[in-house]
Structure 1
């Protein structure tokens, strides 16, 4: 994706942070995937988080960059599937970050956003 589209992705994610208790710790791209490391409140299920992010991000990227829809196979921003892992006994932030960075080893992973975990009280 172009740097303009990448910047828009970060901007839209920032707007999601302002509206929902969903915080983007890392946003990265490889050849044909967007990867997120997010933190949220326990009352949101992983499915709710994914649905919120996917629907808002697709709508806004297509609104801001209509040319993207023409470049995508079938005009769809997202595939039907997704992978979710949670931090707990067997996975922590570093394990998940390493998973993201090692996706498609032969492809180039590009980090376009990074921030710190937030404390919820």
Structure 2
């Protein structure tokens, strides 16, 4: 990925992010997986965040993203998890309980991509997605 620019800034701020549903429930499968992928993609476009690679697995989500330096990683994750929760519950109200309003767990894992290559992160995310597909196939087979 080439350096991007704002009016007075050249930048290349890339992150690998992993976040999980509340209590690490295995609920990201089937149509909800498609919905979450679409919602995350839409929200990233709203903030001009480029998704380099990503995977929604059964009990976690991986993103490799380029975030403009004017947005802090913590504010972006607050936005992403907060807005995606509202959008998920709009599409799937049955997932929301009256006592527990949170869909995502409070924390997340983030690392800058600099010491390793983009290809290594992309390969890792693809391996995680493949492993998740295998788990989905095993869980649906009788």
- 1:38 match: secondary structure: strand
Matches within 5 A, 1:18-33: 18-33=45-60
With 29-38 and 59-68 compared, the bigger mean Cα shift is at 29-38
Question: Unaligned regions of 5+ residues in structure 2, if any?
Answer: 1-27, 134-142
Larger Rg: 2
The answer to whether residue 34 in structure 2 is matched with residue 7 in structure 1 is yes
Who is 2:122 aligned against?
97
The one-character-per-residue Cα deviations of 1:26-67 (angstroms, maximum 9, x if unpaired) are 231333111211112122121122112111111111111112
Question: Unaligned regions of 5+ residues in structure 1, if any?
Answer: 111-121
**What count of residue pairs does the alignment treat as equivalent?**
104
Which of 119, 126, 131 in structure 2 is aligned with 1:108?
A: 131
Shift of 1:76: 3.0
Structure number with higher relative contact order (C-alpha < 8 Å, ≥ 6 residues apart):
1
Q: What's the TM-score, normalizing by structure 2?
A: 0.59
Q: CA RMSD in A?
A: 2.6
Q: What's the TM-score, normalizing by structure 1?
A: 0.68
